Amino acid sequence: MSFIRGYYRLSLSALILVFFAVLIVLASFLPISIKNVPLSLRLAQAMVRSILWILNVRVICEEKEKVVGFDGFFFPNHVSYLEVLALYGVMPTRFLAKAEVRDWPLVGPIAAAVGCVFVQRGDKQSRQEARQELTQVETFPPITIFPEGKRGPSQELLPFRYGAFEIVTQGSFAFLPIAATFNHLEIAIWHRKENILAALWRLASQPERIEINLQPLAAHHPTPDDDPVKLAEKVHGELTAVLFPNQLQDSR
């Protein structure tokens, strides 16, 4: 039964991905917006919502008004590929992605069409150029950066990288920390060095409904006078207090 379930869900999701990929790429050439969001991003949102529904994933965001229409950056925690889909299901957003994503079948063209910024993570100059570019881009629709820089182990937040905080302080951009939690993280997690297909199969073949809770915290409005390092440490503590409250209690 799990094989049939997984095969059905992944096959249907793949068909939807192919269908919308064509529409999204074509729409990226059209100067059409819906509530100031380009048509290509709205189509991508419809695609994401459809795939989440097929995979039996539901997104809960009780303070949705903080996310919808936000002008700036989203800074969520990162343990799964599903945070990307969950955020997109609530508010179309652009992502800072590693350069390899550009070459992924279907996903790469879609990512380019919805305005993702691609970075060579192993190349210091490329990262610096991307930061400089991001200080001058339009911040609506919002841009999502995972400040941990990579997927974490789920038991704690990884130390934040300071590049994201240099961007928002230099550009005086508002940013919104977002805590993403899962009711069945053991199913939703994408382990380090795990093939994405294995992670997708684990999700698609399971009967349990996955719920992702997105909890936006208070928005920050930094200025060039703010210290990116101190700001990163402050936000790390704010997210830790929500995601791992016991850690803060133990450290006192």
Structure confidence at residue 193 as a pLDDT band (50, 70, 90): confident
pLDDT of residue 121: 64
Q: What is the mean pLDDT of residues 89-101?
A: 85
Q: Is the pTM of this model over 0.75?
A: yes
Question: Under CATH, which number does the domain 2-251 receive?
Answer: 3.40.1130
Structure confidence at residue 251 as a pLDDT band (50, 70, 90): low
Percent of the chain past pLDDT 90, that is, above it, reads: 71
Structure confidence at residue 122 as a pLDDT band (50, 70, 90): low
Query: At 57, phi and psi to the nearest 5?
Result: -110, 130
Q: DSSP H helical segments within the chain, as ranges?
A: 2-27, 39-54, 64-67, 82-90, 107-113, 124-134, 163-171, 185-188, 196-204, 228-243, 245-251
Q: Which two tokens stand for residue 147?
A: 């400040």
Q: In what order do the strands lie in the sheet with 143-144?
A: 57-60, 210-216, 175-182, 73-76, 143-144, 94-98, 117-119
pLDDT of residue 145: 92
Q: What is the mean pLDDT of residues 39-47?
A: 95
Domain chopping of the chain, boundaries: 2-251
